[in-house]
Amino acid sequence: MTLTLQSSLGLIFAALIVSCATPSNHSSRARDVYGHRPGPQGFRTIIIDAGHGGKDSGAVSAHTGQKEKDLALDTAKRIANELRGDFKVILMRSDDTFIDLDERVIRANRHGDAILISMHFNSGPSNIRGPETYYWRVDSHGLATRFQQAMASASPAESGNRGLVRRRIRLTRNPEIPCVLLEGGYLSNPAESRLISDSGYRQKLASNIAAAIRTQAAEGDRGTGPLPRPINAPPSRPTDAPE
């Protein structure tokens, strides 16, 4: 590719980012519903969503008997404790309550200058393990990269960014703020489930995740690689795919 072509492509991409960043409605909040803009920097509010809750247990470990909803809440609270004082921290749920996914999006959208992290633990074939990070929006790529690195450095099962996945689900597509869904490891894997049952390990995950948030707030996307290509996709619906 010639230099001229490269730089014109760069200009086209920059123009796309700028044009997509223009809100399509008349909202006073200058947000792009697709999230086609660089990642956040200098934000002051962290919304931490513990996945599942109440009647929805999420995954249940056959190895320890622990439920995803309880482990997610415990980890969310640990992340919150790491950040309080330096950030405004909002827990989407602070007890064993069921909240619909669309309601979680509505609540997240009440806050500007914020990011949303949804904390989960995974389930699948018993030989698969390691943390995974899901993002969709362009403005969530840097954060997702940092979170995956943060969890991978705590986990003996993961290395690099193998678990960084661009996936359109309700909590990665629909909020108007940068939003990332974290899977802290597989409850279906015997060794990883036992590891996750250790509160010291969950604390390590939480403090690494909190450190990643501090780095993103201070530096924005710096060092997280090129932004992914913009994709204009409709909001995710409950019927799209299992979440």
- For Zn ion, the binding residues (CB under 5 A) are 51, 58, 120
Q: Report in angstroms how near the CB of residue 21 gets to Zn ion at its nearest.
A: 31
Chain mean position to CA 179: 5
Evaluate whether 40 touches 116 at the Cβ level (below 8 Å): no
- Least separation, in Å, of the C-beta of 53 and Zn ion? 10
H or E stretch at 80: helix 68-83
Our CB check for Zn ion shows the closer of 51 and 230 to be: 51
Q: Of all residues in this chain, which one has the CB nearest to Zn ion in the complex? A: 120
Q: What angle do CA 145, 236, 180 make, to 5 degrees?
A: 20
Least distance in angstroms from the C-beta of 121 to Zn ion: 7
**Which amino acid makes up residue 214?**
R
Comparing CB distances to Zn ion, the nearer of 132 and 139 is 132
Which residue, 169 or 191, has its beta carbon nearer to Zn ion? 169
CB atoms closer than 10 angstroms to residue 85: 7
CB of 181 to Zn ion, least distance (A): 8
Closer residue to Zn ion (CB): 26 or 55: 55
**34, 152, 230 from 222: Cα distances, Å:** 21, 19, 19
Dihedral angle sign, alpha carbons of residues 223, 225, 227, 233: negative
Minimum CB distance to Zn ion smaller for 43 or for 121: 121
Q: How far is the CB of 71 from Zn ion (least distance, A)?
A: 10
Selection from 191, 171, 197, 156 nearest residue 71 by Cα: 197
